[in-house]
Structure 1
Amino acid sequence: MAATPPLCDFGWKAVDARLPGTDGRAYSILDLSGPNGLVVAFICNHCPYVKAVIARIVRDAIDLEAYGIGFVAISANDVEAYPQDSFDNMKRFASENALPFPYLFNEDQSVAKAYGAVCTPDFFGFNKDMDLQYRGRLDASRKEIGPADLRRDLYEAMVMVSQTGKGPAEQQPSIGCAIKWKT
């Protein structure tokens, strides 16, 4: 079922937590920030929306490093109901897609709830003060792999954040599979 998150609540503060990563290390979310900001992306392994854009997520994360923007991905789906999103499968997904950023497991879903995450993918872009400046889409693609020349909404917004500390006033919401909450 497709879900659409609310638009950006400018200035909302990033929430920190320490979560296990697919590389065997534990990470503090805020420690992954670059000098100019941080993108926190909620994704999962099985979502067709994520699968369609994962290569562009990787590209944008790599390209944003040059602007001092850190990147982290978090999976919070209920793995009992959706075993394809298990931690072992997250490790496989990270390896198969050569994720250049930590991919963290939020088993108790507390972080996803604290962020108000709604879908996968769901992107939160923070400035260097960890104030929310972007809550929007990666680009205009959906469940299909879009053309290579799509406008890079997340990338362009975060470049702006790195240079000005502020995100664009107009943002398009992400769309994706609803987060699979535990009952």
Structure 2
Amino acid sequence: MMVSLQTPICDFGAPAPDFNLPGVDGRDWSLQQCAGEHGLLVMFICNHCPYVKAVQRRIVRDTKELSQLGINSVAIMSNDPAEYAEDSFDNMQRVAEQMGYPFPYLFDETQAVAKAYGAICTPDFFGYNAALELQYRGRLDESRKETAPSDVRRDLYEAMKLVAETGHGPQEQIPSMGCSIKWREGPTT
């Protein structure tokens, strides 16, 4: 069953939980290895979700542009691949290559990292400043299961640009919406 969920309000200043996860590139990645000079965008995504598929190209575009501002990005896949074979590690590698992901794509097999972050859906975006304090917990743009028109406001990009410039995210943030994370032991809520 596919459940659409909205992310909670941003908990400004919350520290980024550390992690050490295997990437589709064959190496392990930690929080510090992923962080950029001016911050880090942590994205919980997967391969099968229509909400993620609707924004994949925009994620690639925005993360490339954010890297020019000193904001690095990392994507984490925390779904149980036993429930969705499309989310297997092999398929993560295939999707990352096909889409040309310019960021590490990591597998959270135990789901402990998603739980530490409080991730609830795909896509779920956590934007951190240089001190790795949470400044953004909102949507990429107004896309849902279908890609929004190309001229819509780039909420995530504009918020993270502000974080790169000032260290602080916008007070007004529109929640991200997506498919629930597929937990191994059933929903955590």
- Aligned residue number for residue 38 of structure 1: 40
Residues 44-63 of structure 1 mapped to structure 2, 5 A cutoff: 44-63=46-65
Residue of structure 2 equivalent to 1:120? 122
Give the AA of the match of 1:45: N
**Structure 1 unaligned regions, length at least 5:** none
Task: Report the 3-state secondary structure (helix = DSSP H, G, I; strand = E; otherwise coil) of the residue aligned with 1:74.
Answer: strand
CA distance, structure 2, for counterparts of residue 30 and residue 14 of structure 1: 10
Q: Does the alignment pair 1:158 with 2:160?
A: yes
Amino acid across the alignment from 1:14:
A
Detail structure 1 runs of 4+ shifted over 3 Å in the superposition: none
Q: Find the counterpart in structure 2 of residue 75 from structure 1.
A: 77
Q: Distance in 2 between matches of 1:135 and 1:100?
A: 21
One-letter identity of the residue aligned with 1:145: T
CA RMSD across the alignment: 0.6
Give the Å deviation of 1:80. 1.0
Matched, 1:94 2:96: yes
Deviations 1:104-128 (A, max 9, x none): 0000000000000010000000000
TM-score (normalizing by structure 2): 0.95
12, 15, 21: which one aligns with 2:14? 12
Deviation at 1:29, TM superposition (A): 2.3
Instruction: Tell me, yes or no, if structure 1 residue 134 matches structure 2 residue 120.
Output: no
- Give the distance between the partners of 1:72 and 1:34, measured in 2 at CA: 10
Unaligned stretches of 5+ residues in structure 2: none
Aligned mates of 1:112, 1:25 — CA distance in 2:
19
Secondary structure in 1 aligned to 2:92?
Answer: helix
In 1, Cα distance between the equivalents of 2:33 and 2:17? Answer: 11
Residues of 2 paired with 1:13 and 1:147: CA distance? Answer: 34
**Superposition TM-score, scaled by structure 1 size:** 0.99
Deviates more, 1:16-25 or 1:105-114: 16-25
Deviation for aligned residue 1:99: 0.4
> In the alignment, what sits opposite 1:105?
107
Q: How big is the shift at 1:182? A: 0.4
Report the secondary structure of 1:139's partner residue.
coil
Which range moved further: 2-11 or 26-35?
26-35
Q: Of 61, 84, 87, which residue of structure 2 is paired with 1:85? A: 87
Q: Give the corresponding residue for 1:28.
A: 30
Structure 2 residue 148 is matched with structure 1 residue 149? no
Q: What is the percentage of aligned positions where both structures have the same residue? A: 61
| CA shift digits 1:60-101 (9 cap, x unpaired) | 000001110010000000111111101011001101111010
**1:122 partner amino acid:** D
